[in-house]
Chains A and B, each alone.
Chain A
Amino acid sequence: MELVIDRLTKQYKNKIAVDRISLTLKEGVYGLLGANGSGKTSLMRMICGVLKPTSGEVKFNGIDVSEEEYRDSLGYLPQNFGYYPEFSAYDFLLYLASLKGLTKHQAKLKATELLELVGLSESAKKKIKTFSGGMKQRLGIAQAMLNDPKILVLDEPTAGLDPNERIRFRNLISRLGKDKIVLLSTHIVSDVEYIASTILMMKDGQIIHKGRLDEIIGVIEGKVFECSVDSKRVNYLIDNYPIINIREESDKTFLRLVAEKPPCETAVTVPAVLEDLYLYYFNEGGKKS
């Protein structure tokens, strides 16, 4: 099972949303991390065939993204999706099952099973317009899995979920990644940290880092420092180093920052986490030391 993305580009007038991305994805969970406007959604839309690339191609096991057979292997949760106002959760799933080529009998079984899986069984007959954001999102996740897809693309899947729902969702995705290619985008760093086997970091339409969590963090390992300094020193450090975190304490200011060498005498190096790397690249336009 192989999803090949070859020199994929999306240009709109003078703006390059996705810039010659080449990737080969196999079974596993891939976390696409990037700030708003980095090109995540455009990339995902092209992978799902809803946006035509300016150049490049997407193929799954040799099948082009534009083919019906490709879409038959695809499950997609868009960032924002609507619904027909008269639909209940169950109707919504039956409708999408009909578009995904399931027979009536399969559709009924699958809809019931998935509503149970996402914890919406009791609300199955309720109109979607009465649902909370989290319930809508769970329904969106359920519809993406109706056809038991080989490729599952989830754009900001945890948006609107409460902490409990997010943990349930993470566990569900981790299990799915065993026999599927799961690509999920988010700017919630912890989601990616917990469930993604491979992290893809995207900036200005390009993949700037790709690898396992430990590989990707290696870029700034030994460069993350924490220190508590007085107010005079704070401004100097803020102006000269990428700051990860600032916390006012009683008489000093606590800083977590990235630097090549200790930025002050009291600074101590601490283990890097993914959030450090994320903020290092995406904080204040990516100011780096």
Chain B
Amino acid sequence: MRNNLKDLKRELKAAFEAPTPTRKNEFINQLNDPKARQIDFFISQIGYIRKRVWILSSLLFLGTLAGLYFYKVSTSFVWVLSSVLPFIALVSISEIVRSITYNMEELEMSCKYNLLEISLARLGILGITNFTVLIGILLVFNGKTDFGWIRLGIYLITPYLLNCYGSLFAINRLKSREAMYICGGVTALVCILSTLLKVGINDIYTERYLLFWGLTFIVLAVLSAKEIVKLIRRTEELEWNSSLTA
């Protein structure tokens, strides 16, 4: 029966030439295709975060676990970890400003979910990822150091924040894609600075310097937040280029 129908269809196709569709577009336009929701857009953006972000985040977390398994926790361990975290900040920032780096911002600004929403989505995804990694690290450190959670968090996050602020400062002021190279330089500087502090001030992780760490943490958090706001404002409008009307 089914084969008969198939044969009939084939014979009909062969016997009559299908007329050219008229008003096809009008008909298609009448159909209300379901649109993707905001949450679908957000989820779709996760797939566009480059693999290196996930790889680096996983390596850092697994490296911490391995380090804790093989070595005794010391201030050097905390120092190493706090020097690696700025690299997570670097790959995250490079991801957030990717549109500007690759000259995609004009196209993205004109889309339904525009550059502002794309940047916020990326910021949200990477913020959650970085926060999860940090919380994960703090959890595995639980009970293995003399430092409390807050103190350990401050030691680990302060270099990360310094890198965030330095990189965002450069990106917000430099218009070229070369800003990312400057960010790489900032990350290297933060690592060197962290090393110099550890080597130069042997008791940098003692209570004597707790106020210094606390204040630095707060100042850098405020400055980084300000730079993020500046970056978000930048995504709302394309910067006017005087060469266009030269």
Contact = CB atoms under 8 A, between A and B. Distances in A.
Contacts of A98: 36, 41, 44-45, 48, 113
Interface majority SS (helix, strand, loop, mixed), chain A: loop
A15 interface: yes
A51 B240 contact: yes
Nearest to A86: B50
A103 B44 CA distance: 10
Given A96-B107, A101-B36, A71 B112 contact: yes
Interface stretch (B10-18, B98-106, B123-131, B188-196): B98-106
Interface residues of A, number: 43
Interface stretch (A20-28, A73-81, A231-239, A262-270): A73-81
Contacts of B44: 98, 104
A61 to B, nearest CB: 15
Given A42-B244, A143-B107, A83 B112 contact: no
Contacts of A96: 107, 111
Interface stretch (B27-35, B58-66, B72-80): B27-35
A158 interface: no
A157 interface: no
B104 A81 contact: yes
A64 B119 CA distance: 22
Interface size class of B (residues with CB under 8 A): 35 or more
Highest count of chain A CB atoms <10 Å: which of B35, B104, B114? B104
B237 interface: yes
Given A12-B242, A37-B245, A51-B240, A100 B103 contact: no
Contacts of A147: 112
A105 to B, nearest CB: 9
Nearest to B104: A82
Contacts of B33: 103, 106
A84 B105 CA distance: 11
B242 A51 contact: no
B242 A50 contact: no
A99 B112 contact: yes
Interface string A43-67: 0010011111000000000000000
A82 to B, nearest CB: 3
Given A12-B240, A106-B33, A99 B106 contact: no
Highest count of chain B CB atoms <10 Å: which of A50, A78, A95? A50
B91 to A, nearest CB: 15
B25 A81 contact: no
Contacts of A38: 245
B114 A81 contact: no
A49 B109 contact: yes
Contacts of A49: 109-110, 114
B211 interface: no
Given A50-B110, A95-B48, A37 B104 contact: no
B200 to A, nearest CB: 41
A52 B237 contact: yes
A81 B107 contact: yes
A71 B114 contact: yes
Nearest to A70: B112
A103 B40 contact: yes
B220 interface: no
Nearest to A76: B110
A78 B35 contact: no
Interface in A148-163: 148
B246 interface: yes
A103 to B, nearest CB: 5
A282 B109 CA distance: 32
B118 interface: yes
A28 B96 CA distance: 39
A68 interface: yes
A261 B45 CA distance: 65
Interface in A135-186: 143, 147-148, 179
Given A15-B242, A42-B244, A99 B35 contact: no
A45 B238 contact: yes
A71 B106 CA distance: 13
Given A74-B110, A81-B103, A81-B106, A99 B244 contact: no
14 contacts: A10-B240, A39-B245, A50-B237, A68-B112, A68-B113, A78-B106, A80-B106, A81-B104, A84-B104, A98-B48, A98-B113, A99-B111, A104-B36, A179-B25
- 10 nearest CB pairs, A to B: A82-B103, A99-B111, A76-B110, A50-B109, A98-B44, A101-B112, A78-B106, A82-B102, A17-B245, A48-B110
